[in-house]
Amino acid sequence: MPLSLIAEQLLNGLQLGLMLFLLAAGLTLVFGIMDMINLAHGSLYMIGAYIAAAVIEASGSFLLGIASAIAGTALVGAALEMTLLRRLYRRSHLSQVLATFAVILIANEIVRMIWGSQPILLSMPPALSGPAELLGFRYPAYRLVVIGVGLAMALFLWLLVTRTRAGMWVRAGASDREMAEVMGVDTRTLFTLVFAIGAALAAVAGALLGPLLAVQVGMGENILILAFVVISIGGIGSIRGALVGSLLVGLLDTAGRAFLPFLFRAMFPSMIAAEAGPAVASVLIYVLMAAVLYFRPSGLFPARG
């Protein structure tokens, strides 16, 4: 197995992991601070991708597309929080699940009414559509940029949460909301802000992954469930857990899909291997989740003590 193939898959895994982190970070904070399960986060990711696609189509500028996606989705996120989600904080988890599920249904239909059911095109910036030379092997330049942006955002988030006042409030809120309120933190504005930032991150992920995956109604839910796996592994409310979980999931899923069929074919008779390899690869991350939960039901880095 050529080294360059392994390296390529590892980089792909890193890329998926970092994009997952953008989604998981926003989600885990909402779960941790507001104790609210939010299914509509995937819809924000989808909206980000669609806005980016539309603006790029109209203007030809990828940067403008991303910027619009961020601004637009953050606005939608904040509006959603202020009108609907705010009322759900004190409601039962069942109510939260169903209300945000309703948002998914509505958002999907609205998108379908505007753009139809078929996937639409989100074109890569032409300058990045070729391969880049990396330590002796070639890797798509665009994916490299995605990794770069992902790392930058991870660093930015880490600094934001650990070094700033606002970040401290967020962490305080994640571990004990009532205490934070008693200490004078304006939780209402804080929550709207956390939501808007989460939405912006989701939009970045949506816009960046758009050229690589299909921009289509329902794209949000698939990645949302991956984000849930990440958060279950990493621990609710923990940014660090979200990062570790995302990288684990991204790498395991990508490497598993790439290498497991190969491994199976090498070890087992071909009939079974052809089927079993991809099948097992597709459930690897869930097995990982089950294993982590068996030893640590609260995840690897639970925010609450």
What residues make contact with other proteins under the rule CB under 8 A? 31, 35-37, 84, 87, 91-95, 97-99, 101-106, 108-110, 112-113, 221, 225, 228-229, 231-232, 236, 275, 278-279, 282-283, 286, 289-290, 293-294, 297-299, 305
Which helix (H) or strand (E) covers residue 140, if one does?
A: strand 137-140
Write down the least CB distance from residue 124 to other proteins, Å. Answer: 28
Which helix (H) or strand (E) covers residue 133, if one does?
A: strand 131-134
* Long-range contacts of the stretch 258-264 (C-beta < 8 A, 24+): 258/5, 258/9, 258/12, 259/1, 259/9, 260/284, 262/1
Query: How many Å is the maximal CA-CA distance in the chain?
Result: 65
Nearer to other proteins, 109 or 186 (CB): 109
Write down the least CB distance from residue 223 to other proteins, Å. Answer: 11
Write down the least CB distance from residue 229 to other proteins, Å. Answer: 5
Q: Which of 212, 203, 95 is nearest to 145 (CA)?
A: 212
Nearer to other proteins, 110 or 183 (CB): 110
Q: Which of 198, 201, 176 is nearest to 187 (CA)?
A: 176
Nearer to other proteins, 12 or 108 (CB): 108
Write down the least CB distance from residue 64 to other proteins, Å. Answer: 30
Nearer to other proteins, 152 or 287 (CB): 287
Nearer to other proteins, 4 or 175 (CB): 175
Phi-psi bin for 235: left (phi > 0), alpha (psi -120 to 50), beta?
left
Write down the least CB distance from residue 215 to other proteins, Å. Answer: 19
